């Protein structure tokens, strides 16, 4: 076979393969979609969607959304706003999670001060409010079977040196830990990037570690 014939035949084979693949792809996609059962195989990792992610498919009802997640193989769930839901809704969601084998992930444990230094300032009234809400979150966690809750230490105090602010935040977190530890509950400190959340005290993992 001369080089010209070889190139022509190789090119034809490549084009045929490409066309075959492009024609097969939609068919395979439809086949996969058709065979996707409601009881799909569970993910091996605890990917945790939140309410609203599947609203267009499952509707607005939180229980329907939880069932939809379970049907699609999710084994975990998070809900930042769980603390603000009614007791009846929390209990109903807990029943669905228990029935469907869904692990409750994080919820936000307290009011986040986006513009005021509630923990960094060291003010006792703000610290008392924070600790009261942590105590309330213990009951929420028991109700929904949660272990972890998110804590965001609020805004920086522009009038104080960072060393003093850090001491104030650490003291608040120590007192909160004393509330949570007897119940086996865990605070999850969430650093937030300064681009989307400018002015917050906690901006990185090394800071949280210290």
pLDDT tens readout for residues 80-96: 999 999 999 999 999 99
Residues 124 and 135 in one domain: yes
Distance between CA 41 and CA 39 in Å, rounded?
7
Distance between CA 139 and CA 133 in Å, rounded?
10
* Structure confidence at residue 133 (pLDDT): 99
For residue 151, is pLDDT > 60? yes
Residues 48 and 117 in one domain: no
Domain count, the chain: 3
* Structure confidence at residue 41 (pLDDT): 77
* Structure confidence at residue 1 (pLDDT): 55
Q: What is the CATH number of the domain that holds 208?
A: 3.20.20.150
Could you report the per-residue pLDDT of 153-193, keeping only the tens digit for each? Answer: 999 999 999 999 999 999 999 999 999 999 999 999 999 99
Could you report the per-residue pLDDT of 34-81, keeping only the tens digit for each? Answer: 334 455 678 888 899 999 999 999 999 999 999 999 999 999 999 999
Residues 67 and 80 in one domain: yes
Distance between CA 203 and CA 208 in Å, rounded?
8
Task: Show the DSSP H helices in the chain as ranges.
Answer: 3-35, 55-58, 62-71, 87-100, 124-144, 162-180, 205-209
- When comparing pLDDT for 131 and 31, which is higher? 131
- When comparing pLDDT for 26 and 144, which is higher? 144
Q: What residue numbers bound the domain in which 146 lies?
A: 106-210
**All residues at 6 or more sequence positions from 33 whose CB lies less than 8 Å from its CB, including other chains:** none
- When comparing pLDDT for 32 and 111, which is higher? 111
Residues 44 and 84 in one domain: yes
Average confidence (pLDDT) over 196-202: 97
Q: Three-class SS of residue 104? A: strand
Closest CA relative to residue 166, chosen from 138, 198, 205, 208: 208
């Amino acid at each position: 076979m001369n080089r010209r014939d070889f190139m022509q035949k190789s090119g034809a084979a490549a084009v045929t393969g490409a066309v075959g693949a492009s024609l097969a792809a939609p068919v395979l996609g439809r086949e996969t979609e058709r065979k996707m059962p409601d009881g799909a195989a569970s993910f091996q990792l605890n990917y945790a969607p939140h309410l609203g992610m599947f609203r267009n498919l499952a509707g607005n009802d939180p229980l329907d959304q939880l069932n939809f997640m379970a049907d699609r193989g999710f084994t975990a769930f998070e809900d930042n706003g769980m603390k603000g839901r009614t007791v009846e809704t929390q209990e109903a969601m807990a029943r669905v999670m228990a029935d469907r084998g869904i692990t409750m992930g994080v919820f936000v444990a307290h009011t986040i001060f986006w513009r005021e230094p509630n923990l960094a300032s060291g003010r006792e009234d703000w610290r008392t409010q924070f600790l009261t809400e942590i105590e309330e979150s213990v009951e929420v966690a028991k109700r929904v079977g949660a272990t972890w809750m998110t804590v965001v230490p609020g805004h920086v105090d522009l009038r104080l040196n960072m060393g003093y602010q850090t001491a104030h935040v650490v003291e608040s977190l120590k007192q909160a830990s004393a509330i949570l530890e007897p119940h086996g509950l865990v605070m999850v400190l969430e650093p937030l990037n300064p681009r989307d959340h400018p002015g917050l005290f906690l901006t990185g993992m090394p800071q949280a570690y210290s």
